[in-house]
Structure 1
Amino acid sequence: MHVQAARPELDYLDNRIVVVNPLDPVSPDAKILIQATSLPHNPHYYVLTISNLSPWTIKSLQMRDRYLHPDPDLAERMRLWLAPELGPEQSASVVFKYDEGPIEEGCHQLEVAITSNLLSVLMDCSPAGNSTIWEVLLPEEVQSQLALPPLTVATAQGRSKAGLHVSRNGDPAVMEFVRTAQPAVIVALDDLDWLREVKQVSPSTITLGRLTEGNQAMTGDPKVVARRFVAQYTERYRAATGVDYWLGWNEPVITTIKEMNWYAAFEAERVRLMADLGLKTAIGNFSVGVPEASLYHAFLPAVAAAKQYGGVFSLHEYSAPTMRDGINAAIPGTPTLEGAGALTLRYRYWYDVLLQPADLVIPLVITEAGIDGGVLGQDSMNRQGWRSFTLMDNAGAATPSAVAGYLEQLSWYDNELRRDPYVIGFAIFNAGIPGEAPWQSYDITEILPQLAGMVNSKS
């Protein structure tokens, strides 16, 4: 048998039918179809194809292949596939390569997960040179998750969500901005008395306060540490009546499940203790680009506590050289999510992949945002904030084109957040201390009038 080729220099391509088998009648239920073909070659190739035979788009599907030796004392080989987004009636394939060839009497254990839920474990112990097809029905719980409407709407809605992060309010331009722009959020550090005035002149502005904590060691009982932490600041909490939500730790360093479990217990207890004081909390406050997606699930107890007691979720988001860098990039441990990013808009991975399926969508505040060369690592060339990535005049002020360029990026980011109704706002880092180290290259105090114009243009 021959197939005519599209390329003019080729008349025919040979092909060979390997196998044709009738399938059992398939059920009409929502399901996925998985085919595995084990090739008897060295190296050993294991070909997987998955087809979405449900009426919904599957955004987050992963398959883990554990290639097991019959001798349990010998280590397994493992491959992980993060499948692309699959619409109804769409298919995708992957080839796993094992350099040491097929294992005699070995088994492929396939673990299929959708929206962070283990859906099925499939065993393929057939000899190399065979194909196996499974029909995997989607349980009602998974169907209900897949049927959820998208969190992100098509177009930006409502007022601007831009606000300020103020390390120290040392310039009258800050309050002038508040009066003029009525910003979505203000995040303040340590000196919090002035937030009362913010609430007076702009009652709709959501304020968040943080008190500097020098010790963020994850040691001891997390509940005991949380009690000690809250007790240490109780009087200052009660005195700062202009704060709507209280942050705890800043950018905790978390690299393991054990650390995330500890931090989740700490945050959940802090939420409950603050609620006993009649106060609300902002949990998380993770740095840009972290934690890894494999650790997200362990933080759910803290999110559940925040939902119960009216708290909010908080994250930092920066990128460089522009705020758009990293958009539509994948993060390890989860499939690529269209419209999300590895740095800015990373929060959409939290919400679309984890929080919405878990029924834990709570309000979000991006408590720091902007341009930060630190995300570039060794390639940063010691550049830090937005000023170090643009042109300045002889007096050290940003040129009009530099200001316009940064405002355009902030406006783009603002419009993206306006597409997500659960986002309260984002705090641009940093205002109020012009010329003061170490945040001089981030300072936006001199461009607050232009920023107010951007905010008001979206009212």
Structure 2
Amino acid sequence: FVECTQVMWEPKDAETGLWYSEFLCELLPRLAKLGPRPIVLNCGVGGLPIKPEQLAAMAPGLRLAWHLGGAWGCHGYTLKYTKDLQVESYHSLRYRRAYDYYREFCPELLGFPMILLEGGVDDVGDENKSGWLARGTLDQYTDWLAWYDSELMKDDQVLGVTLFKIGAPTIWKSFELEPVVPWLREHWQKAYGREKPGN
């Protein structure tokens, strides 16, 4: 059973943003007849459009995606473990810049859900050199994750982040989350008062 399907793209200007919006308006009603809800954009780190002309051009397609029970997605990575909100507003918290625009010009989109489909620490996407294991310590990473979680909790429209990655230890080694699992469990218990999700 497929509940959601991704419709990925990163419009680079107003013209391609308008094209993407028109594409969504054609595709999404057909997709809805098949059952899955859309997750649109799904941009990589630093790829979510934030220029006003891009966001204005995409608004009709985003409205339709929300009307059909969907969400939009992007990646939420820090490049350098910073907790500087200005810096992170271009990276792990980039979605806030888009919502800031919609707050003023398209307030009807303020509740449109955001899913951070990947997140963590990345630099240039090198599977062996860009992840937290290659560029920091466990304490450094968990400290940043605790801060990031506290920031995400301030934004009701954010449904969550999927930390990248766990399992398949021979690939994307510098991103491996296995050493972080004990901290994640403890953080979950302290922050949310439950043994694990679903209990």
TM bin, normalised by shorter chain, reads: 0.7 to 0.9
Alignment of 1:282 with 2:30, yes or no, is no
Q: Aligned match of 1:431 in 148, 154, 166?
A: 166
Alignment match, 1:303: 62
Larger-Rg structure: 1
CA shift in 2, pair 1:324/1:411, >3 Å = same
1:293-338 deviations in whole A, cap 9, x for unaligned? 142221111211012111111111212221535x224xxxxxxxxx
Choose between structure 1 and 2: higher strand proportion.
1
- SS class of match (1:248): strand
Indicate the residue corresponding to 1:173 in structure 2.
Answer: none
Distance in 1 between residues matched to 2:156 and 2:42, nearest whole Å? 20
Q: In structure 1, the residue corresponding to 2:12 is in which secondary structure? A: coil
Mapped pair 1:317 → 2:63? no
The letter of the residue matching 2:109 is L
Residue in structure 2 matched with residue 369 of structure 1 by the alignment: 119
The answer to whether the 8 Å contact 1:284/1:315 transfers is yes
How far apart, in 2, do the equivalents of 1:371 and 1:350 lie? 21
Unaligned runs of 5+ in 2: 193-199
Deviation at 1:409, TM superposition (A): 0.7
Q: Distance in 2 between matches of 1:458 and 1:364?
A: 21
Relative to structure 1, the CA distance from residue 319 to residue 312 in structure 2 (aligned partners, 3 Å threshold; closer, same or farther) is same
Between the two proteins, what is the percent identity of the paired residues?
27
TM-score, L = length of structure 1: 0.38
For 1:353 and 1:422, the matched residues in 2 are separated by 15
Asked if structure 2 preserves the Cα contact closer than 8 Å seen for 1:267 and 1:284, the reply is: no
Would the alpha carbon gap of residues 268 and 324 (structure 1) be closer, same or farther in structure 2, given more than 3 Å must change? farther
Deviation beyond 4 Å, 4+ runs, structure 1 = none
- State the superposition RMSD in angstroms: 2.2
1:265: which partner in 2? 22
1:314, 1:428 → 2: CA distance? 14
Amino acid at match of 1:365: I
Give the Cα separation in 1 of the matches to 2:97 and 2:180. 32
Give, in whole Å, the separation in 1 of the partners of 2:25 and 2:168: 34
TM-score (ref. length: structure 2): 0.83
1:18 matched residue in structure 2: none
Equivalent residue pairs, number: 187
Name whichever structure is richer in helix by fraction: 2
Structure 1: distance between partners of 2:71 and 2:57: 17
- Aligned pairs (5 A) from 1:178-189: none
8 A contact 1:434–1:445 mirrored in 2? no
1:328 aligns with 2:64: no
2:124 corresponds to 1:344: no
Q: Which amino acid aligns with 1:372?
A: D
Task: Give how far 1:365 is off.
Answer: 0.7
Match of 2:196 in 1: none
Where does residue 448 of structure 1 map in the other structure?
181
- Give, in angstroms, the shift of residue 278 of structure 1: 2.2
Measure how far apart 1:269 and its partner are.
2.9
User: Contact 2:42–2:74 at 8 Å: present in 1 too?
Assistant: yes
Shift of residue 253, structure 1, vs aligned partner: 4.3
Following the alignment from structure 1 to structure 2, what is the Cα–Cα distance between the partners of residues 386 and 292? Answer: 27
Return 5+ residue gaps in structure 1 as ranges.
1-240, 330-339, 391-401
Aligned runs of 1:148-159 on 2, under 5 Å? none
- Written as runs of structure 1 = structure 2, the 5 A alignment for 1:60-71 is none
The alpha-carbon deviation at position 270 of structure 1 amounts to 3.0
Q: Give the partner amino acid of 1:297.
A: A
> CA offset at residue 267 of structure 1?
2.7
- Deviation string, structure 1 residues 235-256 (Cα, Å, up to 9, x no partner): xxxxxx2x4422122xx34323
